[in-house]
């Protein structure tokens, strides 16, 4: 690390100073170059992080909308439907709740690839929405 040696040298020279020199020097200590380099690197990633945050919000909102619609249908079918529909919705809910979300994502994205090729964005919305619908 380039800053580690600089900090050691600064601390050694700091301990060899007189008390009056320490107080006057501590208020005028320049920012080490490694701090500004790290800040510059972090700032360079901000546009990518902002785009990723926007995509995350969009996926969350769309999958939540899907989950509300499907969850309402599941709850209505489970409470008011005929016996065969109650059994079907109960099986769906228990299977979805009993399997990991990552497995569901893989099945929807890769498992359905033989039948229909879904874009990753749509597969994520579908998997997250169907998963969360079982918890509505």
Residue 81's pLDDT is 94
pLDDT digits (tens, 9 = 90+) for 27-49: 566 666 667 888 888 888 999 99
- The Cα–Cα gap between 122 and 134 comes to 19
Proportion of the chain above pLDDT 90, given as a percent: 62
Residue 49's pLDDT is 94
Q: Comparing C-alpha atoms, which of 122, 127, 133 is closest to residue 73?
A: 133
Proportion of the chain above pLDDT 70, given as a percent: 75
Decide which of 2.60.40.420, 3.40.50.2300, 1.10.3720.10, 1.20.1090.10 is the CATH code for 52-133.
1.10.3720.10
- The Cα–Cα gap between 6 and 100 comes to 49
Query: Given the structure tokens 């929405």, which residue do they identify?
Result: 129
Q: Which residues contact 66 (CB under 8 A, 6 or more apart)?
A: 125, 126, 129, 130, 133
pLDDT digits (tens, 9 = 90+) for 78-117: 999 999 999 999 999 999 999 999 999 999 999 988 899 9
The segment(s) of the chain belonging to CATH 1.10.3720.10 are: 52-133
Checking if the pLDDT of 73 tops 60, the result is: yes
Instruction: Indicate the pTM of the whole model.
Output: 0.69
Q: Which residues contact 64 (CB under 8 A, 6 or more apart)?
A: 129, 132
């Amino acid at each position: 690390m380039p800053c580690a040696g600089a900090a050691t040298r600064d601390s050694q020279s700091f301990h060899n100073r007189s008390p009056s020199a320490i107080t006057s020097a501590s208020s005028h200590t320049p920012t080490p170059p490694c701090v500004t380099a790290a800040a510059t690197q972090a700032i360079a990633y901000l546009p990518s992080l902002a785009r990723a945050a926007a995509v995350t919000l969009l996926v969350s909102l769309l999958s939540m909308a899907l989950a509300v619609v499907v969850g309402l249908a599941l709850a209505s079918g489970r409470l008011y439907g005929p016996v065969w529909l109650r059994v079907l919705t109960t099986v769906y809910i228990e299977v979805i709740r009993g399997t990991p979300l990552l497995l569901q994502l893989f099945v929807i994205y890769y498992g359905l690839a033989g039948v229909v090729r879904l874009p990753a964005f749509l597969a994520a919305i579908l998997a997250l929405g169907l998963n969360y619908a079982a918890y509505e």
